[in-house]
Amino acid sequence: MPHIAHIAVQTPAHSAVGELLSYASEEVLPPGTLVRVPLGRRELLGVVWEPPAAPAPLPEGLELRSVACVLPGLAPLDAGWRRLVAFAAHYYQRSVGEIAVTALPPQLRDMTAEQLARRLAPPKPARKSRKSKAETETEPQACEPVRPQQPAAIPSIALSAEQASVFAQIEQSPGPFLLYGSTGSGKTEVYLRAVQAVLEANPQAQALVMVPEINLTPQLEERFTARFAPLYGAEAVVSMHSGMTNPQRLKSWLAGHTGRARIVLGTRMAIFASLPRLALIVVDEEHDASYKQQEGARYSARDLAVWRGRDAGAKVILGSATPSLESWHASSPTAQGGPGRYLRLAMPGRIGAAALPRVRLVDMTQQPRKAVFSPPLLEAITARVQRGEQSLVLLNRRGFAPVLFCADCGWKSDCPHCSAHQVFHKGDRTLRCHHCGFTQRVPFACPSCGNPDILPLGKGTEQLEEELERVLRNVQRPDGNPARVARIDADTTRAKGALQEQLAAMHAGDIDVLVGTQMVAKGHDFRRITLVAAVQPDSALYSSDYRAPERLFCLLMQAAGRAGRDAGYVAAQGSRAEMWIQTHDPANPVYAALQKHDYEAFAARQLQERQDAGMPPYAFQAIVRADARTQEAAQAFLNAATQAARDAQLPWLDEVFIYPPIPMAVQRVANVERAQMLLEATSRGALLRFLNHWQPWLHWLRGQGEHRTIVRWLVDVDPLSI
């Protein structure tokens, strides 16, 4: 008699198919086994799961489809991994199958049993080439077996007093920890020591180290490989991020799953890596919004790291010079004077007595009108080029200008498919929509009135690069060569290896002024930068999103941290590290706190404002979004969902406040209208329980005739932008 296997499969979105699907199997399959199963006309990868606590009886006469095959050579995914997937699915309102399957490498999802068997087979010995007698006589006739090299000793790097104190607390306490260290305080060395400690304590232990963006992975991998490869082998350190090829991702995943990899470095996707012996999780730059997935299952890798660490008994270190307000609040003492949920560890000083940069505010209302750079800032940049120092200019907007404009008729370069402007890219003379990707050539004249004088409005990184090249064209470096300006943003780093090449040139001193977006504002250890300038940061101050001041402060604080990291170099140059901010609102409290490098005062003020307004972390939120062909249809679906919850008197509804639906900030993308509805509660449990009861009604509503025009709907728990 065949056995029944309950399998998690990625079913079509909004199909309302059950969490687990039942299949017939000739043998008992342990939970965590990877199998291929038929679904409709396709054959998909699935993960065998524990049976439900009270499985529903099968209808009489129903014949189950059989498991197609079991993927050979792989140990089942362990119970800890399955608990992580189940928690993420429950918390972020997705199906277990979607989370489980998308967490696996793309190449593994498409492999047959035969292909995987070939992939796992040991490599065949190389064939001996035919050599001439003369070549053979010149070669050694007998070879001694290669003896493994003795592990090299870990480089002895003296810790500062702050580092030593923090590391001792990590050793003695279970955590989780919030490592609050200023930029350049040596947080990475603390991570290295913490990883070293867990690997030495257990010969099978594994560590997961996460960074927010792909471009930060290579330099971190270089440091970890240099430290640990001599001890544990070249395969001990692997990376895992979406910039890798599918075969590379599969190789890294297998190394972690089998235990060959002792250290996994990666972006947010690495939180779902199969690491059966996980003992430590490090989340660097934990405040970064990149840890929140914005497509599909909208999970927070940082929050899942804390949950996974607690579940696995692994230590968790969250590190940042500007912690998220949620983490800062969680590490604050309780009202009764007890410790917070996180143990806060402080490292306020920089390594080597390096001073934090002086912050200088430039009031742009007192500068020449339409000036891209104020004259004092240009003088400061010029002086640094002449001394051989480097400068970083930050503008978080790529392209030449956000929009083209006709002064005669008011025409703007709007995207025909989105409620957004097409950005002017001067380099290739195109207009591009950064939302849907639609691209077209720049018109020779206004398409509306024929005026040939259409003008760019606003500034982008291309414009800053062009302006600096013009201003610095006659400025010479100490070696007599002309000043060199470079730009790093999403447009200049598309080619494979382009980012690494540009960063290497920056580290080598070949670039004098680097213009970039937030890609270069965090995590990079540029030793020769003594000046950082933020050109146009004010727009974030007047956003409708209550998190905008926090994001701006973190970005500017992180950018300032790129300056003056090498105290010896700054002293030898007779210079001083500076952060210049061009603003039309120099009296803003955000800039006042930034001038003093006073994150604690900024956080206290922001948390008080949020507590007064009843916003996170003092409340808990979720967003329900609907996409449709018309805005009316999207909002009608959300209104109907609210009414259905009230008519059904769903549990916990009384503890959840549902706001009316509104259009999203970018209302239309790729000809799809988008609307959203905010839910808020003072209890996280009440919000989640209500959402769990509401899910079936959302599925049911979409199947009704008047709502079948809905393209998709989704639930975003703990949203980062509203």
Binding-site members for Zn(2+) are 406, 409, 415, 418, 433, 436, 446, 449
Find residue 3's DSSP bridge partners: 25
Contact call for residues 561 and 592 (beta carbons, < 8 A): no
Dist. CA 286–CA 241, nearest whole Å = 17
Residues 60, 62, 67: CA angle, nearest 5 degrees? 140
Nearest to 196 by CA among 226, 240, 219: 226
Binding site: which residues? Answer: 406, 409, 415, 418, 433, 436, 446, 449
For 433, phi and psi rounded to 5 degrees?
-90, 125
Measured CA to CA, the distance from residue 597 to residue 577 in angstroms comes to: 14
Q: Which residues sit opposite 569 in a β-bridge?
A: none
**Calculated CA dihedral for residues 649, 655, 659, 660, nearest 10 degrees:** 10
Q: What are phi and psi of 624, to 5 degrees?
A: -105, 125
Sign of the four-CA dihedral 6, 34, 297, 261: positive
Q: Using CB atoms within 10 A of its CB, is residue 685 exposed (0-12), middle (13-18) or buried (19+)? A: exposed
Cα 702–chain centre separation: 32
Instruction: Tell the burial category of 165 from Cβ atoms under 10 Å away from its Cβ (0-12, 13-18, 19+).
Output: middle
* Per-state percent for the chain, helix, strand, coil, to nearest 5: 35, 20, 40
In this structure, which amino acid lies at residue 30? P
Q: Which residue, chain included where needed, has tokens 């007192």?
A: 366
Q: Are 550 and 512 in contact (CB under 8 A)?
A: no
The Cα 588–Cα 585 span in angstroms is 6
Closest listed residue to residue 178, CA positions, set 664, 494, 603: 603
Q: How far apart are CA 600 and CA 325, in angstroms?
A: 10
Task: Find tokens 């200088």 and name the residue.
Answer: 360
Find the Cα–Cα–Cα–Cα dihedral 282, 288, 290, 294, rounded to 10°: 120
CA–CA separation, 516 and 394 (whole Å): 5
Q: How far apart are CA 183 and CA 220, in angstroms?
A: 16
